Amino acid sequence: MPRSYRVAVVGATGAVGKEMIKVLLQRDFPVSELVPLATSRSAGTEVEFKGKRITVEETSACSFDGIDIALFAGGGSASQEYGWEAVARGAVVIDNSSTFRMEDNVPLVVPEVNPHDLKWHKGLIANPNCSTIQMVVALKPIYDAAGIKRIVVNTYQAVSGTGKEAIDELDKQTRDYAAGREMTAEVYPYQIALNVLPQIDAFMPNGYTKEEMKMVNETRKILGDNDIAVSATTVRVPVFYGHSEAVNVETERKLTAAEARSLLSGAPGVVVVDDPAERIYPMPVMAAGKDEVMVGRIREDISVRNGLDLWVVADNLRKGAALNAVQIAEKMMELGLI
Ligand code: L14
């Protein structure tokens, strides 16, 4: 494989796609050619990369001929249609949609947590769900040190996870409210401004949403441990960028809060932001635009023998999506897999 890569970004004009192009630039990823792809709706528009304007092309099977790495920014339909096709045409695919995450022949990877799973890839690697990624980055050091029996997580998810239209909807509803106009909701079933919606993605027969079950199943797959019990409630809040999570974890062995804090301080991809006396804790406005997963409110759960409570915040478009995808490519380079 070359030391500089022809990189396609599928969904290049969306919230995640744009962030992917930004991350490639910021990290100086060795791109010999950038090929931005999108649906016919956005084809013909331009993106800027290293001072050049590049025309966005409509995705087709032939788009992947000669491509080394294809980053699918996700909406599942392009992934469904072209994911394995791109592999057949010689590309390594890193897919941000939920389409392939639970398939047995597809590694589901967070580079700080399970880089070894890249070794058995079959051409397509899945990028986990945004809420799952930031949680497992924070839990990995705890899992390694003390084992994990059970996780109960509640999320506070930003609208940017849904995409540009949702960012615009929160912006518009907020303006409408300030101007005394009536708000209308199109993207979400109810107003999101000044509100909280206890539904992300569709409901399943067991009463959980798909987003909640993604957190359950993906966490076990990434940590490689099907014995971990996980329950999640995923909630949309009127925040533009940055997902927050209240994570309760029951460990096999006792970990004090001080031990957890010191483990997390040395963990890759984590920054501890935890000084309650000074009112210092992570918040989405602080995490937006940052690469690290921020952890604070670290304390021992008073209701069980071996339990911890954590507050975990990260930029859902960066570590939750674009950055993790690019880090997967970087890790594959490092391991000599591309
Ligand atoms: O599984 O915030 O990647 O609406 C896509 C939609 C994550 C949540 C996924 C959202 C989801 C996202």
For residues 166 and 172, what is the distance between their CA atoms, to the nearest angstrom?
10
The set of catalytic residues is 130, 243
Q: How far is CA 58 from CA 68, 72, 123, in A?
A: 18, 14, 23
pTM beyond 0.95: the answer is yes
Task: Give the angle subtended at the CA of 300 by the CAs of 298 and 303, to the nearest 5°.
Answer: 135
- Asked if residue 139 lies in contact with residue 326, where contact means CB atoms within 8 angstroms, the answer is no
State both tokens at 70. 């294809």
Query: In this predicted structure, what is the pLDDT of residue 3?
Result: 87
Atom of ligand 1 nearest to the CA of 160: 2
Atom of ligand 1 nearest to the CA of 316: 2
Query: In this predicted structure, what is the pLDDT of residue 75?
Result: 78
- 278 burial via Cβ count (<10 Å: 0-12, 13-18, 19+): exposed
Question: How many beta carbons lie within 10 A of that of residue 19, not counting itself?
Answer: 24
Residue 124 DSSP SS3? strand
Query: In this predicted structure, what is the pLDDT of residue 215?
Result: 98
For residues 315 and 289, what is the distance between their CA atoms, to the nearest angstrom?
6
* Nearest Cα residue to atom 4 of ligand 1: 162
For the 5-128+321-334 domain, the top CATH level (class) is alpha beta
For the 132-316 domain, the top CATH level (class) is alpha beta
C-beta 129 within 6 A of ligand 1: yes
Cα(75) to centroid of ligand 1, in Å? 9
Query: In this predicted structure, what is the pLDDT of residue 245?
Result: 99
Cα(76) to centroid of ligand 1, in Å? 10
Query: In this predicted structure, what is the pLDDT of residue 76?
Result: 77
Domain-by-domain residue ranges, the chain? 5-128+321-334, 132-316
Residue 93 DSSP SS3? strand
C-beta 214 within 6 A of ligand 1: yes
Q: How many CA atoms lie within 13 A of 71 on its CB side?
A: 34
Query: In this predicted structure, what is the pLDDT of residue 229?
Result: 98
Query: In this predicted structure, what is the pLDDT of residue 51?
Result: 94
- Asked if residue 201 lies in contact with residue 211, where contact means CB atoms within 8 angstroms, the answer is yes
Mean pLDDT per segment of 10 residues, for the chain of length 338 residues? 88 97 98 98 96 97 98 91 98 98 98 98 98 99 98 99 97 98 98 98 98 98 98 99 99 98 98 98 98 98 98 98 98 98
C-beta 127 within 6 A of ligand 1: no
